[in-house]
Amino acid sequence: MLSLIENADLYAPEARGICHLLVGAGRVLHVDRERIDVDARLLAERLDLQGAPLVPGLVDAHVHVTGGGGEDGFSTQAMPVPLSAYTAHGVTSVVGLLGTDDETRSTASLLARTRALREEGLSAWCWTGGYHLPATTLTGSVRRDIVSLGPVIGLGEIAISDHRSSQPTHDELARLASEVHVAGLLSRKAGVMHLHLGDGPRGLEPVRRLLAETELPPRMFHPTHVNRRKALFEEACELAPGGSTVDVTAFPVGPDEDAWSGADAWERFHESGAPAGRLTVSSDGGGCLPVFDNQGSMLRMDFATSAGLTDTLAELLGRGHELAAVLPCLTRNVAELLRLPRKGRIAAGMDADLVVLDTRHRPCHVMARGRWMVRDGRALVTGTFEG
């Protein structure tokens, strides 16, 4: 059965104006400015959006699907993130990862949770590895994990410039990056090295050295949390024109913090003249947001959710930025970097991952792979153990 969506103010993510879409078998079958004539007997539904914005489902490349935390003892380990915690905020594709705790959490459990989210209706992939070296893997090899395990698209989040990292050397990072790059070539996957940046003064120097002293392509280095320090963010803006995509984390920032919020970072990145296509925004959903003292002891903590993405989107639109300008860092840019060919855009042949925004720029209807997950702000589909 088919779904006909009419009178959508379509952002694909570029502005297309009022359009009509035909959806079936989990895909967008047709998009047209003219009304689509379909035999009513073939239609499961006809939905008139009356000019409401229709945007691609958000692609969140940094999510602790098994739960993050654990940096102040076992009692601070977070629970796995449930399905509706993504879809409620317009997220239809996620890339899961391990963080600080790659000891009691494993690649096997990460793969299992990734596959569970797929069974529940989300599109999901994962990074192999965690903060530390030698990298946590399932097969014993980063290259083999990427080549042989379908959902694994790259390596992450390897920690650098952070007191929680394994303090990797230049040679260790170079050798690991070469494994990731070759694995991507062999498997036609992203082959990206997703790098956690800490508060350390070395900042992005390890990445600059890899780019200067190896033949590895810039596109494979994807540093994240680059807005956690203002000086680090300036480094990221200088790195992007060379071909690396940098990732901003949509976390809350207090007025006295030496950091930029997701919205502030988006504005400053574009003001810097860096290529717009070299910026992505992720949520760190399910992850711990710790604050440490200068001795490495945790002072306080919070946990991130995918709401950070829609909060950032709404804030930027509230500041007067165009929806077509803001959307790519949450959709198309992410999908292109990660080589997810049917994600991040709305066009015939693409997966039917669709989000309708309300007048507050918040998701009111969310479709993932052709199935309505949220209608009128209410979750129609929940995870197996929700509720």
> Catalytic amino acids?
284
- Is residue 278 within 8 A of residue 245, CB to CB? The reply is yes
Distance between CA atoms of residues 19 and 246, nearest Å:
33
β-pairing, 2-11 vs 53-56, is: parallel
Burial of 124-145, coded b for 16+ CB within 10 Å and e otherwise, reads bbbbbbbbbbebbbbeeebbbb
Distance between CA atoms of residues 261 and 301, nearest Å:
17
DSSP 151-187: TEEEEEEEEESSTTS----HHHHHHHHHHHHHHHHHH
199 belongs to an annotated ligand binding site: no
Q: Which residues have C-beta within 8 Å of that of residue 78, sequence separation ≥ 6?
A: 64, 67, 68, 69, 70, 286, 287, 288, 303
Q: Which residues have C-beta within 8 Å of that of residue 232, sequence separation ≥ 6?
A: 197, 203, 204, 226
- Is residue 24 within 8 A of residue 349, CB to CB? The reply is no
Helices 230-239/262-271 angle, 10° precision: 40
64 belongs to an annotated ligand binding site: yes
Using the 8-state DSSP alphabet, how is residue 338 labeled? T
Distance between CA atoms of residues 158 and 153, nearest Å:
14
- Is residue 372 within 8 A of residue 84, CB to CB? The reply is no
- Is residue 86 within 8 A of residue 42, CB to CB? The reply is no
Look at the block and give the residue holding tokens 């990734």.
114
- Is residue 280 within 8 A of residue 334, CB to CB? The reply is yes
Identify whether 13 is preceded by a cis peptide bond (ω within 30 of 0): yes
Distance between CA atoms of residues 183 and 281, nearest Å:
25
270 belongs to an annotated ligand binding site: no
Q: What SS3 state is found at 86? A: helix
Distance between CA atoms of residues 130 and 114, nearest Å:
15
196 belongs to an annotated ligand binding site: yes
Task: Summarize the annotated binding site as residue ranges.
Answer: 62, 64, 196, 225, 284
Task: Summarize the annotated binding site for Zn(2+) as residue ranges.
Answer: 62, 64, 196, 225, 284
